[in-house]
Structure 1
């Protein structure tokens, strides 16, 4: 993800931090300093927010390690000011697998909250809950309260929260997957409306949650509907045969010329017809600010970019386009490039099929 930096690799999974997270740390430090009027108070605030996000990281590792049990890898974990995201290579195909992967994250928070509870009991470190605020009260008790909040919030039965995936997985044990998704998304939209109405009278933060839930439900429903619509259709029926490619030895200047003289954003890079990788437009723009225009495209291509075999089904393409957040997938046959599928031509293909079916 753009504007992210790697802060470590644990159990084979990269952990990245979005740079906006630094703004949150700075804001928390300022709030605590204003209340305590000391550097010590500011440091306690920073320590508190770092402890919270350690819990978030552990939550995401819960998802990642459970997914690993089912043979699903995790590309990375990203820390954002609003939480964390474990980017799985794919969504579990079996409902019960999705259910356990979704539950694994909140289960970590249950364990953390329970451990803190027993520690506070053993040390008699309790403060009355009414005295707890964001900036006051024992740090460990505040951290326990945050974990309890994370459990409750994540188990709301609405996408993109874990509860939405648990709800969908439970429905999918009895219903078809796409119908289960539609029902879960509809429930999510209802919850979003309720949050929105409450936000109008109580807290603007609830309005933010309402928008977050509504968009998550809509996106999940659209993604599943698209996968269902193209299921059983081979990739070669929808791929584009006329497209531009770059050679691994071509210069960045040639890539710029291709970009400016056409509508294609990303370019497959080949060597003797064999796919070497993909040059994304964003990578080209970034490279031009620090490299000579005569540098070769081989120096900036994504060699691990997703591709698809021509004999695979289009629902695989939908999944891969969603996972890589890209506009183009190369189509190969026995390692050789034979076409591409783009988000634009896939959308056009679906519209034509829908029109023909009416």
Structure 2
């Protein structure tokens, strides 16, 4: 569940509900940590927690700057960014057509990947330099009591500590992101470098494997030093594995045409069908979604999920037309990857397949896509295994 909070340069900014959890965690850590890593001894307590929350908020503003650096540069290279979402583990810039990344020059992908970490390193260096030249130390001023007695407020006295925290965290964030752990920025930098020398598929597979290896090393270090590092390493390992699977899936879907895997025998319902009758129809046919027709033409789509918000006692007053959704379609000659992207964009589980005259020729579901991926990958592996098996040469007759 995400909420839109702003729009920057035409890019919508969303905050996921999980972001609130890590925001509160960071604020709490800042509030209980001693100088120069927090505000534990700041009095009164309300000032301590306000400073901690303000520091956490500013830190996540720098996280947003990190993602904007990626996104704005990607936009300049022709990669349209749908939105930016801040999660509990950071931010994600959603590219409208992710498969386009593999079609750009690897040097441009390298620049996009480096833009985020570089922005954090610059922010961190500038903030720590400011502390050094203004307050005489990158750590700020430890003895804030004298500052307060000289007439400065508690908040003003703790500005150096806030600057130190933000500068340090940005430097850590920047350098940590450069580690060659896919799908972090460093892993994407590695893939872009490898893509200059190999195919994009080989570069991605290599980057994923190296990322997994670095994650294991980090996990081992974390077990003996800091369990938080070990947990983060586990998360990065899982992310690398999932990214590898997603890349394999999209590569497979690129080579499949919708008309080859769509279902041509489509069950439909009329828009005038009473909702109660539709529910009974679903139980009989056991399909979760159906195209809605009127006079033989498709006018909408209805799923079991669409009926859930209707109270059971009120269902007799509704027809299919009252709750059906707009048709989301795909052309039969489109790739399965196009269908996959359409499902993700519109958050639907199935698409109606319409020809150039807007006639329905089939339907394709997420299950169809997953089955195609499984079969294609399985047969590919079987073919590779058979090709690698040693062949017995025929014996010559003597």
Q: State the TM bucket, normalised to the shorter chain.
A: 0.7 to 0.9
Contact (CA 8 Å) 1:226, 1:318: kept in 2 or not?
A: no
Inter-CA distance 55–32: structure 2 relative to 1 (3 Å threshold): closer
Is residue 164 of structure 2 the alignment partner of residue 141 of structure 1? yes
Q: Partner of 1:219 in structure 2?
A: 242
Give a deviation string over 1:92-138, Cα, whole Å, max 9, x none. 22233332222222232233223324422431352449x8xxx9971
TM-score when scaled to structure 1? 0.81
Measure, in 2, the Cα distance between the counterparts of 1:327 and 1:63.
Answer: 30
Inter-CA distance 106–31: structure 2 relative to 1 (3 Å threshold): closer
Aligned 1:141-290 pairs, distance under 5 A:
141-244=164-267, 264-265=287-288, 285=308, 287-288=309-310
TM-score when scaled to structure 2? 0.73
Return 138-147 or 192-201, whichever deviates more. 192-201
Deviation at 1:49, TM superposition (A): 0.7
Deviation at 1:295, TM superposition (A): 7.9
Measure, in 1, the Cα distance between the counterparts of 2:63 and 2:303.
Answer: 31
Is residue 330 of structure 2 the alignment partner of residue 308 of structure 1? yes
Two-structure CA RMSD over aligned residues (Å): 3.6
Aligned residues: 348
Inter-CA distance 311–22: structure 2 relative to 1 (3 Å threshold): same
Deviation at 1:273, TM superposition (A): 7.0
> SS of 1:310's equivalent?
coil
Is residue 126 of structure 2 the alignment partner of residue 112 of structure 1? no
Deviation at 1:176, TM superposition (A): 1.1
Inter-CA distance 265–178: structure 2 relative to 1 (3 Å threshold): farther
Query: Unaligned 5+ residue runs, structure 2?
Result: 33-39, 143-157, 384-398
> SS of 1:99's equivalent?
helix
Deviation at 1:347, TM superposition (A): 3.1
Aligned 1:46-125 pairs, distance under 5 A:
46-91=53-98, 92=101, 93-94=103-104, 95-124=106-135
Contact (CA 8 Å) 2:302, 2:320: kept in 1 or not?
A: no
Measure, in 2, the Cα distance between the counterparts of 1:273 and 1:166.
Answer: 53
Measure, in 1, the Cα distance between the counterparts of 2:271 and 2:135.
Answer: 66
> SS of 1:116's equivalent?
helix
Contact (CA 8 Å) 2:128, 2:168: kept in 1 or not?
A: no
Measure, in 2, the Cα distance between the counterparts of 1:113 and 1:224.
Answer: 34
Deviation at 1:19, TM superposition (A): 2.1
Inter-CA distance 269–152: structure 2 relative to 1 (3 Å threshold): farther
